[in-house]
Structure 1
């Protein structure tokens, strides 16, 4: 890149009010440099000891000490760097070597091999990069497994406290039984006091155990969210490239799981296994009473089954309508300016209202059935209490049991049936949570990010597009057909053509945003689908036709929202894109805060900031889609200088444009017509052919000039 001194941006740019550095950041930098120096010293000592050991054994080995990049010409160093040099030396190498950029391999070296030296290769441009090394897959399914493991582990503790809590629930029936059959008959105050003290202790202990299990479930929900939040968002972001955007709603599914883990429905499910114990206790009082409880439990189970079958379809329909309504809300938020400017609010609200009405209608249908089931189960439980008390009184009259036993059996039966009733009332939440888990599992297990990738050397920028055909999913319209061309490292290409010719689609395909239906797009001979996504993104720049900035500072937007980059890299990207002087005119400079819509920046300023973002990190290939659509004459001049900088730094550039002013700054031109290539070749050849065509001198048939 540029031959700039390695220093903080605040020192480069004091006069322009672009102050990044603070005393706290400077102190952190000094600490980091001291730590790197100490680590380097330790590795050098280890290497020196290894060398002495090798000499003593008669086997000479290279020391592997790192020579700073500013002492050695780029590309001339043949020694392999030590692990410390891989961390601390790449910044110095980047300042001296205009083609080195940032190390594309940002992944950690395996801890078990941290003492080994990473092999390097020298490419044709004299730069060096890490040799081919296998990178393990992200494997989001491991995150899902870790989340499930956390749930299972914590559930064991919850079940332990649930067991104790349910046993202590028997304290009240036993207390009533003892008072009715022992205290009242013996009129013993001492017995009453002793029983009361014991029961009060049992009740307090039961309350403590119940609170503890709720605490554990709450923390389990938080742990699940922490384990799955980032993987779900990453997988959704990747899947949304080829989806409808609903993948992001999987984060709402995670919220549904969290709600279920802290809900009373889950507690009811956890209490159900103890219902047979309570039924057995009622059987011990009298078999007739136990039979009544069993019959009631069977009736409640039947009601729950009917409720599930009756509400599954309406709840699913409601979820579909609600998802569509949420997508429409997102669209309204993104296009709020257009909606207000064109007075489209009534129509937008109408569309949202139709989807919402469909969701509410289905919900009402499902909830009506759920309410009927809940009322039926509650009636069954109350009738069970009546039957127990009535038949128990009859048995007491006959002398089979006592009055205290009747009351105790009634309370125990209520405790046995309560979890079943609670499960019926919360069955809808269980269905929603089960569906949410299935969607999360499908998203994480099927993500293409799970596939293993090979970490490659930093690319040179060679681009090969081979027989590309693209038909959007769900349609039969051919957008791209038979696209073939190649670019050498450092080449610049202008893609021109009428609207709808497929230029923007081709640009998206070159950066991996969409994948070809058939054919391949290769960077340095490797298909884009086989590049590690992080490494590929580090080595390309992209300026889309619809420029979007993220809420935050200009500095963060240029740095692609990363917080682990040096300010010098941001400065170099701004210089490459020729926007540093523009940023310097802002009152807060690089710390100027922009909103999601880019305000307070103008359209041209947004486009130039996005251009700097495309140049960030010294990419080897940039794709610019209509980069001058919002630029004035000064912006056009800055864009021309940026393309010149790209040429000087051997950055392969693809510019999609409809303006002839950019054609003089490229090497080759590609003319597209209806998704096919009409002309491709050197700028002079294509311009001559276009001029001949306009003059009526071009014979029939497309010209496809070949690369020299």
Structure 2
């Protein structure tokens, strides 16, 4: 039943949140507020858990009351009937206690699942947006969501619900005897003071450990992405040392915080046991003076232990509380960031007129621009090749053209509308993009070509495959379009993956296509298919931008942009631009006359 509810919630979230190419999400039925929905669900469920906790804590008095009755009534009256009646009542109350405790745990478990179902899509969408803006943190945000989910269904959460009910037990002890009640209250105050000391002594160090651990996790993820290079070049030991330099501070600070927590936890246990012993000793003294009975003494000691147990448990589990609080802050920040994305007006399908006006891009934390004052303009159906040496900003410009990066200054317009003012899902439907590092999604070739959409006919997939010239290649595979791909794109080769990604870029008849080194892994047949695809795109009126390092494509484009150190060195038709570049550099005495010819011949 819980699994079915989980799937239903996830399906509902998926229907509400559509994650568009480029990483933004929109509600196709209207604006949604995941945090408000979560708070409403959490409020209702936590009230239910609180009510269950009251019942549980009342029923926890069954055992001490049972012992009290046996000691003071059964043993003195020697009545078997009374013993049987009390035992039956105690068993009934214990059974109810177990059922209610199971129910409150079940409610917390389902609440944890609902939290991920309600907030998961928003957290992922926000994380992808941040990654698009160059901030990263996708894995960290999802991991924070999982951490909060685990905390909600953990025993520490139950202790948080039980701790406010400790005064109930103190009141019962006062009913037994006033002196015993004050002993319990003093012990409770001592534990509260210890908890405050624990918070002051460990919170800062646990926070520092979390920051160091996040850096170490980021380093580990980077190493995992480069596992093939590490294995091929024998860099395993150096890679582990690289990760260890970041992990060591996290372990050191965390160990220091845990040492403090262990000592403080030991002190809290000492206080609780001393309190129980004191209550037993004082109770025995009061029993000798005939102020209370022996059963009341035992019951008071047990109830005192129950009253102090949640406080002691919270001290031991304080680390989990701190980590969960920090994780929830990350989740909340991600969802609020997602909510700040306002819905955009849906515009008519663009013709493909692209204008770049004095674009400047500074990477986060850098003062050196990767692009500086780049301008260009393409009419609908025109094609552009971007060439230049490595590090000149070609791929950065390509990512800016499709909205993957936001320029620091300047504007990029599609049909006169700035990219930031387009609805991301709508813009993605009209745009195709093939990145420099080709990544295919786990799934079938069919799902990769159609961008994971299931609301379009198979004819559109076939059309994209034929348009990009990959239909025959796919048909040669044993399972054709149903071939399942793993996370790395296997069993396809690098060239095959690039051609599948090319078909994905042209899926849905886009008006603008940006291809970043689309022929880097292609053989002669694949490169010929790419050239024919660009020719078909020109006939269809698709505006195409190609980042290339090979001269073959320069003869099939309308314009060429040469970038050097982030500046547009030349822009125009291939013959004019390259001829002017060769002539200007050839006459410059201080420059190497062979350099521009290498650019012309190699596309750099």
**TM-score relative to the length of structure 2:** 0.90
**Aligned-residue offset at 1:553:** 2.1
**Aligned-residue offset at 1:244:** 4.4
Name the CA distance, whole Å, in 2 between partners of 1:470 and 1:369.
47
CA separation of 1:648 and 1:449: change in aligned 2, threshold 3 A: farther
Contact 1:552-1:593 within 8 A present in 2 as well: yes
**1:297 maps onto 2:188 in alignment:** yes
**1:342 maps onto 2:230 in alignment:** no
Alignment equivalent of 1:561, drawn from 449, 452, 461: 452
Within a 5 Å distance, the mapping from 1:133-532 to structure 2 comes to: 136-137=30-31, 139=32, 142-447=33-338, 450-532=341-423
Which consecutive residues of structure 2, in runs of 5 or more, have no partner in the other structure? 1-24, 597-604
What SS does the aligned partner of 2:345 have?
strand
Contact 2:122-2:338 within 8 A present in 1 as well: no
1:653-686 CA distance string (max 9 Å, x none): 1111122211111111112222111211233322
Partner of 1:547: 438
Name the CA distance, whole Å, in 2 between partners of 1:422 and 1:655.
62
Partner of 2:462: 571
**Aligned-residue offset at 1:691:** 4.7
Partner of 1:676: 567
Contact 1:624-1:655 within 8 A present in 2 as well: yes
Farther-moved stretch of structure 1 (467-476 vs 188-197): 188-197
Name the CA distance, whole Å, in 1 between partners of 2:80 and 2:54.
32
Name the CA distance, whole Å, in 1 between partners of 2:169 and 2:450.
63
What SS does the aligned partner of 1:454 have?
coil
**Aligned-residue offset at 1:697:** 9.6
Within a 5 Å distance, the mapping from 1:23-38 to structure 2 comes to: none
* Count of equivalent residues: 567
Contact 1:246-1:323 within 8 A present in 2 as well: no
Contact 1:237-1:248 within 8 A present in 2 as well: no
Name the CA distance, whole Å, in 1 between partners of 2:220 and 2:51.
45
Contact 2:516-2:547 within 8 A present in 1 as well: yes
**Aligned-residue offset at 1:566:** 1.8
Contact 2:71-2:294 within 8 A present in 1 as well: yes
Contact 1:296-1:381 within 8 A present in 2 as well: yes
Contact 1:239-1:447 within 8 A present in 2 as well: no
What SS does the aligned partner of 1:679 have?
strand
1:211-262 CA distance string (max 9 Å, x none): 1111111111111121112221111111112344323211111111111111
Name the CA distance, whole Å, in 2 between partners of 1:650 and 1:659.
24
**Aligned-residue offset at 1:429:** 0.7
**1:615 maps onto 2:524 in alignment:** no
Farther-moved stretch of structure 1 (445-454 vs 400-409): 445-454
**1:638 maps onto 2:525 in alignment:** no
Farther-moved stretch of structure 1 (269-278 vs 439-448): 439-448
How large is the RMSD of aligned CA atoms in angstroms?
2.1
CA separation of 1:691 and 1:170: change in aligned 2, threshold 3 A: closer
Which consecutive residues of structure 1, in runs of 5 or more, have no partner in the other structure? 1-105, 111-135, 703-708
Contact 2:395-2:436 within 8 A present in 1 as well: yes
Name the CA distance, whole Å, in 2 between partners of 1:109 and 1:291.
61
Contact 2:123-2:338 within 8 A present in 1 as well: no
Name the CA distance, whole Å, in 2 between partners of 1:590 and 1:310.
59
**1:535 maps onto 2:432 in alignment:** no
What SS does the aligned partner of 1:165 have?
helix
Contact 2:515-2:547 within 8 A present in 1 as well: yes
Name the CA distance, whole Å, in 2 between partners of 1:658 and 1:176.
86
Name the CA distance, whole Å, in 1 between partners of 2:50 and 2:335.
29
**Aligned-residue offset at 1:528:** 0.8
Contact 2:68-2:299 within 8 A present in 1 as well: yes
**Aligned-residue offset at 1:287:** 1.1
Contact 2:412-2:419 within 8 A present in 1 as well: yes
Name the CA distance, whole Å, in 1 between partners of 2:226 and 2:176.
69
Contact 1:235-1:449 within 8 A present in 2 as well: no
1:151-207 CA distance string (max 9 Å, x none): 211111111111111111222222222222222222222222222211221111111
1:374-425 CA distance string (max 9 Å, x none): 1111110100011001111111112222222111111111111111111111
Contact 2:385-2:547 within 8 A present in 1 as well: yes
CA separation of 1:287 and 1:372: change in aligned 2, threshold 3 A: same
**Aligned-residue offset at 1:540:** 0.6
Name the CA distance, whole Å, in 1 between partners of 2:28 and 2:69.
70
1:409-460 CA distance string (max 9 Å, x none): 1111111111111111111111111111101111110237622211111111
Q: Over alpha carbons, which structure has the higher Rg?
A: 1
What SS does the aligned partner of 1:443 have?
helix
**Aligned-residue offset at 1:362:** 1.9
Name the CA distance, whole Å, in 1 between partners of 2:329 and 2:373.
39
**Aligned-residue offset at 1:648:** 0.8
